[in-house]
Structure 1
Amino acid sequence: MARELTREEKRKIRALVVKWCANYNKEYGCLPLECECYMFGKCWTGAYCRYFREAVLPLDPALEAALLTEGPPPVFKPCPICGGAVPVDGRMAYCSEVCARIALRRQKREYMRKKRR
């Protein structure tokens, strides 16, 4: 069942299209359609531009989960390292392996600092 998009979701969709969509041009809009981008007028979940769904939406995993799952949007917490989205359910503490490695290095550095005293 479709639900209405929130203002924040609409803002994120617009930002993703402007920054990452290969079909979008500021002067002409959507190049294949030669009109304004379909995703700019989107008010409900449901049908999305195929290129947006397959190539652009995976760049924001939190928005992807919110748009492609049924029911209320899932809850995310911020990553302590970069501020990215981390699902609340499950054991993940960081948004990616890169952030996990950075956190591990910080923990080791702090441990060695305390051990030297």
Structure 2
Amino acid sequence: MGYDFATPSDRARDRKTGFGEATAQLDSKGRTKEVKIMVIKITPKQSKRINALIKKLCCNYVDGSCLLLDDGEEHACVQCISRYGIYCNYFKNAVLPADRELFAEIMQPSRQKRCQICKSYFVPRAKNQRYCPNCAAVQKRKKAAERQRRKRAVQSQAGFRVQP
């Protein structure tokens, strides 16, 4: 299976976005078929973190072999031997989301937001989310306390009796 990358302008776009497109030639019952495969580019530092994640969490990884590729012979885990991209769909969909920081770094570089309090990057669950999950809990408590303070102040000004 050979990979053939596109034109130089496509490569420049890929460098900006972190994604690349490869074409693969597959032989199936005597026919040659061209299929486009999305290749997600990674750095060597990310590759080390990915390999550690695979060895720790991937249920298909056994002693360097991949059970999904097992057809009677042992096959090396494609993701463990690749240094420059993510090729395993199972890893991408099931294992990578377990490490939220790495997932945000690799999969959604354009959707990352920066927390307004601690300045760390995170993947927002809603488009108007301002804080990372850790800071969101603290901020929620602060906002609730302030809201109750204002509510009590309005009640005491209106003549209502505030009972402890």
Q: What's the TM-score, normalizing by structure 2?
A: 0.43
Distance 2:122 2:48 in 1: 16
Match of 2:94 among 49, 55, 67: 55
1:104 and 2:104 aligned: no
Q: Deviations over 1:32-90 (max 9, x none)?
A: 143442112223336x2232122102223454455446xxx445546857x66346xx5
Match of 1:114? none
Structure with the largest fraction of helix: 1
Choose 1 or 2 for highest CA Rg.
2
Runs of 5+ in structure 1 lacking a partner?
A: 112-117
Runs of 5+ in structure 2 lacking a partner?
A: 1-13, 15-19, 21-39, 147-164
For 2:136, the aligned partner's letter is A
Q: Deviations over 1:18-38 (max 9, x none)?
A: 22111223xx22341434421
For 1:92, the aligned partner's letter is Q
CA 1:104–1:45 in structure 2 vs 1: closer, same or farther (change >3 Å)? same
Match of 2:82? 42
Structure with the largest fraction of strand: 2
Distance 1:43 1:60 in 2: 18
- Shift in Å at residue 13 of structure 1? 1.2
User: How many residue pairs end up in the alignment?
Assistant: 103
1:30 and 2:69 aligned: no
Q: Superposition RMSD on alpha carbons, in Å?
A: 3.8
The answer to which structure, 1 or 2, has the higher relative contact order (CA under 8 A, 6+ apart) is 1
SS at match of 2:140: helix
Match of 1:6? 43
